[in-house]
Amino acid sequence: MQREGLGERRLNANIAVDARNVGKIYGTGNDAVTALGDVSISIEEGEFFTLLGPSGCGKTTLLRCIAGFETPTSGTIHLSGQDITYTPPYQRPVNTVFQSYALFPHLTVALNIGFGLKMQGKPAGDVARAVARVLALVKLEDFADRLPQHLSGGQQQRVALARALAPEPQVLLLDEPLSALDLKLRKEMQSELKRLQTETGITFIFVTHDQEEALTMSNRIGVMSQGALLQVGTPHEIYEHPVNRFVADFIGETNFLDGDVDGTRVRIGTGDLLDVKLDGQTGPVTLAIRPEQITLGASGGGIDVTVIEKTYMGTDTHYTLGLSDGSQMIARVPSGFAGAFALGDTVGISIDSKAVQVLKS
């Protein structure tokens, strides 16, 4: 598979949003805070693109720059080839689903949804038809005349979505829209969002700190940290081939083992040699090993470890394993297999070495 570089685009795709060297610094002099370093990213038309990262990583700032609520301190933002860096938000064919929904409390559901079209100067008949169509799309036909405060959180979420979709924007921005919902509703809305994105064909830029959400919904993910874009790729690429320790750690559970390159293999702290896929690295490296890539077996077969902790998780059982050099690893084993080992047992583990990522230390 072809690896994609940062912000690089696939061939033959039209670019919806093109951010070039975007930086945002708040304050001046000694008080200056860099919210966004030097971010370049190309988001394709019709793509479900997720900006993923911990809070304060700059993902929301980038989204607000695209929406027009913030002006970048440096760099440019293009929308379908047009420079919109300094265009006011009300002149951008971009709509936002806010984290707090920000529904107009004095307007009914229908008037909330029709607000954008009305402000664009569309005739009343067109507005009514569009509102009816979008209400059907989010399955809220029966709530058109309600006020937002008389709706549940999930319903308000749908109204916010419908309101942003009604003017048929070129790009829909979603700022952690699911964070206020409970788990079950969040799962429902995830597939709902995915369905809406496929049906409308609108480019979605979705901001979240939830890696699972990002993996299940996105066509591509951009992982951010401390104002920088670390990696852009498909969920599979990000999960299987994280570029550094931060990405590996942030996306799913990962065990890190320090080691040194020894010829074509890596010697870890216990003295064992692991036959991993090297890409020209030398000297000290860090191995990133997913918990499901570890297989437990009888002592003597592979690396000997001690079972320190055992947690039953339903489908899987998590084992915390102690290595002879004092480091620990977590292994995820299907629960059907779980009875075999008890606390204190010495177990031999084998690692699917082809799946191990070798990162620079």
Q: Contact residues for other proteins (CB under 8 A)? A: 67-69, 88-91, 94-96, 98, 100, 102-108, 111, 115-116, 119-120, 145, 147, 163-164, 167
- Closest distance between other proteins and the C-beta of residue 70, in Å? 11
Which is nearer to other proteins, 94 or 257 (by Cβ)? 94
User: Would you give the DSSP letter of residue 223?
Assistant: E
- Closest distance between other proteins and the C-beta of residue 88, in Å? 7
- Closest distance between other proteins and the C-beta of residue 179, in Å? 15
- Closest distance between other proteins and the C-beta of residue 154, in Å? 19
Q: Which helix (H) or strand (E) holds 162?
A: helix 153-165
- Closest distance between other proteins and the C-beta of residue 93, in Å? 9
Residue 166 backbone zone (phi > 0: left; psi -120 to 50: alpha; other: beta): alpha
Which is nearer to other proteins, 169 or 259 (by Cβ)? 169
Between CA 137 and CA 358 the distance in angstroms is 46
- Closest distance between other proteins and the C-beta of residue 303, in Å? 54
Which is nearer to other proteins, 107 or 132 (by Cβ)? 107
Which among 160, 173, 171, 212 has a CA at the least distance from the CA of 190? 212
Which is nearer to other proteins, 106 or 354 (by Cβ)? 106
Q: Which two tokens stand for residue 280?
A: 């020209």
Residue 29 backbone zone (phi > 0: left; psi -120 to 50: alpha; other: beta): left
Sequence-ordered alpha helix ranges (H) in 5-76: 59-67
Which is nearer to other proteins, 116 or 222 (by Cβ)? 116
Which among 157, 175, 161 has a CA at the least distance from the CA of 70? 175
Between CA 80 and CA 62 the distance in angstroms is 17
Which is nearer to other proteins, 96 or 211 (by Cβ)? 96
